[in-house]
Amino acid sequence: MSSIGTLFRVTLFGESHGPGVGAVVEGVPAGTKVDLDAMRHELARRRPGQSKLSTQRKEEDEPEILSGVLHGAATGAPLTILIRNTDVDSRPYDATRDLPRPGHADFTAWAKWGAARDHRGGGPFSARLTAPLVAAGALARRILGGVRIAGHVVAAGGIEVPRELTFEQILKADAHPTRCADPKTADLIEHAIMRARSEADSIGGVVECRAEGVPAGWGGPGSAGLESELGRAMFAIPAAKGVEFGAGFRAAGMRGSAHNDPFEVDAAGKITTRTNHAGGILGGISTGMPIVFRVAFKPVASLPRPQDTVNLSTKKPAVIETKGRHDPCVVPRAVPIVEAAAACVLADLKLLAAADPPGGNR
Amino acid sequence: MSSIGTLFRVTLFGESHGPGVGAVVEGVPAGTKVDLDAMRHELARRRPGQSKLSTQRKEEDEPEILSGVLHGAATGAPLTILIRNTDVDSRPYDATRDLPRPGHADFTAWAKWGAARDHRGGGPFSARLTAPLVAAGALARRILGGVRIAGHVVAAGGIEVPRELTFEQILKADAHPTRCADPKTADLIEHAIMRARSEADSIGGVVECRAEGVPAGWGGPGSAGLESELGRAMFAIPAAKGVEFGAGFRAAGMRGSAHNDPFEVDAAGKITTRTNHAGGILGGISTGMPIVFRVAFKPVASLPRPQDTVNLSTKKPAVIETKGRHDPCVVPRAVPIVEAAAACVLADLKLLAAADPPGGNR
Amino acid sequence: MSSIGTLFRVTLFGESHGPGVGAVVEGVPAGTKVDLDAMRHELARRRPGQSKLSTQRKEEDEPEILSGVLHGAATGAPLTILIRNTDVDSRPYDATRDLPRPGHADFTAWAKWGAARDHRGGGPFSARLTAPLVAAGALARRILGGVRIAGHVVAAGGIEVPRELTFEQILKADAHPTRCADPKTADLIEHAIMRARSEADSIGGVVECRAEGVPAGWGGPGSAGLESELGRAMFAIPAAKGVEFGAGFRAAGMRGSAHNDPFEVDAAGKITTRTNHAGGILGGISTGMPIVFRVAFKPVASLPRPQDTVNLSTKKPAVIETKGRHDPCVVPRAVPIVEAAAACVLADLKLLAAADPPGGNR
Amino acid sequence: MSSIGTLFRVTLFGESHGPGVGAVVEGVPAGTKVDLDAMRHELARRRPGQSKLSTQRKEEDEPEILSGVLHGAATGAPLTILIRNTDVDSRPYDATRDLPRPGHADFTAWAKWGAARDHRGGGPFSARLTAPLVAAGALARRILGGVRIAGHVVAAGGIEVPRELTFEQILKADAHPTRCADPKTADLIEHAIMRARSEADSIGGVVECRAEGVPAGWGGPGSAGLESELGRAMFAIPAAKGVEFGAGFRAAGMRGSAHNDPFEVDAAGKITTRTNHAGGILGGISTGMPIVFRVAFKPVASLPRPQDTVNLSTKKPAVIETKGRHDPCVVPRAVPIVEAAAACVLADLKLLAAADPPGGNR
């Protein structure tokens, strides 16, 4: 179904060109402070039109709380967030209703739902649905307390950050419009984005996310594991086509002797690992080291150039030229989305761990 | 929880050194033929000790049906499979109960469950639990009818298959003990595995899986999507650390104009795409093109050499030398496991699609 | 969690005195007509202030569709309904925040959520949340097609309908403000309600509901059964304290020889039962006979008279006199609610049966 | 699906005449003592053949633990219980495969699953599946610690216990073969059972269950409520046709002024209610008073006399005379089953409450 989480459960709804988008968030503990400014801050980070690098669609993205909050705190009941669509122009989509855009869900929405589908701007497949996810993420962060989550762009258009960055460096990724935390690479990526735009093209990229402060013992074996739960949530983000944890695909080329993270005791007497190729996860359960994962995003499918398609009614070849407003590269805006999805999953695992408290480090 | 699927739901249970491993499989349509030989065939493909490349632990892996089958066909009720553990030697694990093996779940199991955990051979984190998954996969294949699923090893120890293989070539992957379908690469990988073994080391690798015959329209937006459901199931396989669909991480370096798959009409009048960078999935829904994905496995963590660890009781540095029987490379045996997990997810999506039949290609 | 259903899944949200109440409805098949007038009709049946028998709180109950609908039909994506609270007067509740009303959830909400709870008018425990359930029920009825669902009041204030009514009689229950379909009993019940009101008191009652046209084969064994699913949904209605199917509690006093419904073949050649003590359900699965069940509602807890309570802050005895607007008897308004809950459950079971089509009557 | 519970989740499997019956129990906290003798004790209470009042089918009902336990304690992983069927005689059922027994699921199993169904002795609809439920209940009781759960027979064959019994009296219900705790009524019920048997007939009855020691604050609004969760679990018990809480159906005939339970402060300074018409539940949440509910069971459908049915193949009228071994009254054996189902639900709610600790009584 359309939900993530067992105890902290987020159900998204809405469409790109309907009345709005929103989320029902269940499991917010009673008394949790609901900080609308924190929510607005995350929504602003996700919002298009922040820089010359992204689309100029203007959305106010003002979250309206429909339920579950009283006097600024969660009541314990389902918490509903609604974000109205205020700058909707559906006209470009009506003319091309029968012309599925390559790389978009237009064709598969038709295959699944036929004529009844909402064809306007991606309908329920739109990245617009990540707005309420980001709002829910702000709630999740509050639940997580001491856990800090930060993402940054580590690759785009074939350009990669050539070194591992510290968590403090990653925290400053917002300083650059690309959200790449390595200044030199950031400039190269910015250049690549501008060039793609000037060539009526787009590029993809990779977002890395780290969560610091997750204690050992969250998660579980099999499909209850951190990789399963985080992986599921990440692949629910539009345009995500790859997810890897720790050394990830690179691990596939490593020797066990190099990949295994030896255990040691740190200065505080806590058991930890010397390296973190595991990305903070062993057997689906957190080790206490930073959770580290990367999400690969395909290049934006909407291109302001003619592309080959097929007319769904006539079954004849056709050409479509997307007229909507779209970013040439989605990854800078994907950073707060990946963080939010991670926060939601981790908040759920924190509540699950509270129901069956970790036993080892006691 | 420990289940995958909504209608075709698989719940795994068991431990490496307990009485056995098994699965409760709900949603097998009444009358589905339960072919024990097909189940045994898949279990044999997964079983260790098949070649000099893998551990010599001998398991009979005979599936016992505890419920849900009468006269060789599913009755419609929950179908339970039990596979007894017959060659269990737990002694090596008792001596090292306080010494977590690097790269294993020993430490995190202790962190989560404390002294009560089953420490023997990975307990519920053992790859042994993939045996009932493989048995469930045989049921899922039967439900899928015309859908064909095949996996193969595309990389191991840093050696990669240098070209894309046809589905017919992939179907022959079992011919080589590495399950690499490209003969030259297969020999190189076999050599790498043998060398790793001789050096008391291990290597990781990548399994690619394709599903042919999935019609357009299975799956759904967001977390109901094919990537989310397949990703969740793949990350539930022990040692999986990366999953990518279609062009995957490579897509992150591509231009949209190159990545977008143009639509066209095939000879049979069906709408299809010229290329398949999307891996057969747009917006979480199948396009009708082959579903293509890859799973990265880390190198086997158990190494027959001394490794640094920490004694959980004394919190002092210690050294562990794994005495159990382990493969130097898991990916050849991972092929039928990845296929089985994919079959289970796709069978679920087929049943879900039957409840709300695809509308577009009508 | 706060949802009912597996494929047709309804998640309710909202509070009595917050911005509004609503529902996210997943699984509405694409193309299902969304008839706002049908929704309004059901909401009007549920609405207070329809007659002298019920509270004069005026609510417009205009359903706003926030997602999942285009051009009057369901798109297949989650369908969200919002009903604003327009006639909210929270002042009476602020003064009595520390004084839990006997028979209400005021005390248990405090026990569960403490000071953060929404204390106003029952918060999320309010019968106001049945408004979006009723709206969802209108969608469910559309999915159910030929299945007809009708409820009526069979008892209130100790007065019972003395005979079994035909389905056609039940369909006319709305003709009387009590929704009792037996005119004589209806008048007696109306009198009992008026007397209870004049004595600053309230009465309870029983709603019977029948569903005609459910084919044999919906449901399943154990907790997947019709009784489990319908029971769960009915007990989620505020003030419901008993549910029984067919002969129900009366069956407990019967002999098997009298209770068993003998099978026979009807004029159309269909296997049916001579009697229907089973209420159309055997083994959790529909028999093809009418589904029949009854829901007992306790008397309305809010009384315009002083009642003994305890001050939550001081832990001292106190007296509360409820000032809100409340019905002296809830059962007439409960009829469309019970029907809606039944429709939602049956729509879910219809979709589940479509995924695994019934096999016997083929 | 076939499971109950969110965190403490019980999935039943098996058939009356297959290899065995069992349960996968997820969410047993690591370290929970798994007392096989306690399990055997509950199984013995449920077992047929204990007295002249019940069938002479002899089952050893020895629970085998297949997973999740080490050295007598739960490991935290899914815990699987298998109970082999040892005294299976399927021959009587093969001859009557086409003759559905009135009042049984034979017909509906055929309607749902057709020829593939397991027709032997009720297949998955058999009360035999309550054996693993009772075993799971023993685990749940251990998790519940101080909560005491006891059931007793309050009515059978039209004979009712005429007064309310104390919890201490109820705890002694096992002393009489009828499990009626009121000696005089017990003898009358025993007589009624014997007479029904001698007349080749059967009777139904009502089991009342109480849970003492549940603190205020477990459960939640709507379908997360105690009535919904307990109701769903109770209706999953074969032959259950009615469930009521507190005053239940009797409440429907009461005045609010008589039904409302006034709050007061007890000697220990705890807020409590003077009466308990609510059965310990307000708004789906426990009040801290005893949870009280009753389950109505229909008379046993299997009768050793000719009954009218229809031949499923020929669609002609037929007569069936059940030859299997069956109790003339199920309610004495239903007592431990109802208790077990209640224990499972309450253990789940206890774990859920631990994830979001109650706030009011702090």
In a domain, D361, yes or no: no
Number of domains observed in the structure of chain B: 1
Please count the other Cβ atoms lying within 10 Å of the Cβ belonging to residue B307.
Answer: 21
Contact A258, A250 (CB under 8 A): no
Contact D113, C359 (CB under 8 A): yes
Q: Among B273, B14, B247, B38, which residue's Cα sits nearest to residue B132? A: B14
Check CB contact of B356 with chain C, cutoff 8 Å.
yes
In this prediction, residue A1 carries a pLDDT of 52
Contact C274, C264 (CB under 8 A): yes
In this prediction, residue A54 carries a pLDDT of 63
This prediction has a pTM of 0.96
* C-alpha distance from D29 to closest chain B C-alpha (Å): 8
Its ipTM equals 0.96
Check CB contact of A348 with chain B, cutoff 8 Å.
no
* C-alpha distance from D319 to closest chain C C-alpha (Å): 10
pLDDT in tens, C228-267: 999 999 999 999 999 999 999 999 999 999 999 999 999 9
In a domain, D147, yes or no: yes
Cα–Cα dist B268/B85, whole Å: 50
Residue D177 has pLDDT above 50, yes or no: yes
Collapsing DSSP to helix, strand or coil, B191 comes out as: helix
Contact A211, A149 (CB under 8 A): yes
pLDDT in tens, D209-244: 999 999 999 999 999 999 999 999 999 999 999 999
Beta pairing, strands C69-70 & C306-310: unpaired
In this prediction, residue B276 carries a pLDDT of 98
Handedness of CA C354, C356, C358, C362 (dihedral sign): positive
Residue D325 has pLDDT above 70, yes or no: no
- Residue stretches of chain B with pLDDT short of 70: 1, 49-59, 323-325, 358-362
In this prediction, residue B52 carries a pLDDT of 64
Residue D290 has pLDDT above 60, yes or no: yes
Cα–Cα dist A358/A47, whole Å: 38
Residue for token pair 């950073």: A335
Contacts of A76 in chain C (CB under 8 A): 109, 112-113, 116-117
Check CB contact of A70 with chain D, cutoff 8 Å.
no
Enumerate the β-bridge partners of residue A281: A286
Mutation site, B28, B79, B351, B356, interface C, largest C CB count within 10 A? B356
Contacts of D7 in chain A (CB under 8 A): 6, 352, 355-356
Residues 6+ apart with CB under 8 A from A267: none
Q: What angle do CA C147, C148, C154 make, to 5 degrees?
A: 140
In this prediction, residue B95 carries a pLDDT of 85
Mutation site, D228, D260, D275, D356, interface C, largest C CB count within 10 A? D260
**Contacting D residues, span 114-153, partner chain C, CB-CB under 8 Å:** 114-116, 122, 124-125, 129
Cα–Cα dist D345/D7, whole Å: 10
Cα–Cα dist C225/C231, whole Å: 10
Residue D115 has pLDDT above 50, yes or no: yes
Cα–Cα dist C61/D127, whole Å: 46
Contact B20 D116 (CB under 8 A): no
Cα–Cα dist A60/A21, whole Å: 12
pLDDT in tens, B106-146: 999 999 999 999 999 899 999 999 999 999 999 999 999 99
DSSP label at residue B50: S
Contact D177, D240 (CB under 8 A): no
Check CB contact of B227 with chain A, cutoff 8 Å.
yes
Q: Among B295, B315, B250, which residue's Cα sits nearest to residue B107? A: B315
In a domain, C361, yes or no: no
Residue D57 has pLDDT above 60, yes or no: no
Q: Among C147, C105, A235, A162, which residue's Cα sits nearest to residue B293? A: A235
* CA distance to A26, B203, B298, B325, C163, per residue, from B328 (Å): 45, 6, 11, 10, 77
* C-alpha distance from A34 to closest chain C C-alpha (Å): 12
Over residues D236-254, the mean pLDDT reads 97
In this prediction, residue C225 carries a pLDDT of 97
* CA distance to A117, A121, A136, C294, per residue, from A23 (Å): 21, 19, 7, 35
* C-alpha distance from B153 to closest chain D C-alpha (Å): 31
In this prediction, residue A362 carries a pLDDT of 35
Contact D329, D202 (CB under 8 A): yes
Please count the other Cβ atoms lying within 10 Å of the Cβ belonging to residue C343.
Answer: 28
Residue for token pair 């297959």: D18
Contacts of D273 in chain C (CB under 8 A): 102
Residue D51 has pLDDT above 90, yes or no: no
* CA distance to A56, A138, A328, B222, per residue, from A331 (Å): 16, 20, 10, 18
Q: In a 10 Å sphere around its CB, with 0-12 CB exposed, 13-18 middle and 19+ buried, how is residue A94 labelled? A: exposed
- Residue stretches of chain C with pLDDT short of 50: 361-362
Compare CB distances from A111 to B252, B273, B285 and report the shortest one's residue: B285
Nearest CA in chain B to D23: B24
pLDDT in tens, B332-360: 999 999 999 999 999 999 999 998 886 65
Mutation site, A24, A117, A153, A235, interface B, largest B CB count within 10 A? A235
- Residue stretches of chain A with pLDDT short of 50: 361-362
What H or E segment, with its residue span, contains residue B357?
none
* CA distance to B118, B338, D2, D223, D234, per residue, from C220 (Å): 36, 31, 9, 20, 15
In a domain, A362, yes or no: no
In a domain, D362, yes or no: no
Which of the other chains make 3 or more beta carbon contacts under 8 angstroms with chain B? Answer: A, C, D
Contact A242 B262 (CB under 8 A): no
In a domain, C150, yes or no: yes
User: Token pair of D245, please?
Assistant: 């809480």
* Distance from the first to the final alpha carbon of chain C: 37
Residues 6+ apart with CB under 8 A from A352: A6, A7, A218, D7, D355
CATH number for the domain harbouring residue D155: 3.60.150.10
In a domain, A298, yes or no: yes
DSSP collapsed to 3 states, chain A: CCEECCCCEEEEEECCCCCEEEEEEECCCCCCECCHHHHHHHHHHHCCCCCCCCCCCCCCCCEEEEECEECCEECCCCEEEEEECCCCCCHHHHCCCCCCCCCCCHHHHHHHHHHHCCCHHHHHHCHHHHHHHHHHHHHHHHHHCCCEEEEEEEEECCEECCCCCCHHHHCCHHHCCCCCCCHHHHHHHHHHHHHHHHCCCCECEEEEEEEECCCCCCECCHHHCHHHHHHHHHHCCCCEEEEEECCHHHHCCCEHHHHCCCEEECCCCCEEECCCCCCCEECCEECCCCEEEEEEECCCCCCCCEEEEECCCCCCEEEEECCCCCCCECHHHHHHHHHHHHHHHHHHHHHHHHHCCCCCCC
The secondary structure of B213-263 as a DSSP string is -PPTT-B-SGGGSHHHHHHHHHHTSTTEEEEEETTHHHHTTSBHHHHS--E
Nearest CA in chain C to D278: C103
Q: In a 10 Å sphere around its CB, with 0-12 CB exposed, 13-18 middle and 19+ buried, how is residue D288 labelled? A: buried
Cα–Cα dist D65/A178, whole Å: 56
Range of the domain at B335: 3-355
In a domain, A268, yes or no: yes
Contact C189, C159 (CB under 8 A): yes
Handedness of CA C314, C318, C321, C322 (dihedral sign): positive
Residues 6+ apart with CB under 8 A from B126: B15, B16, B238
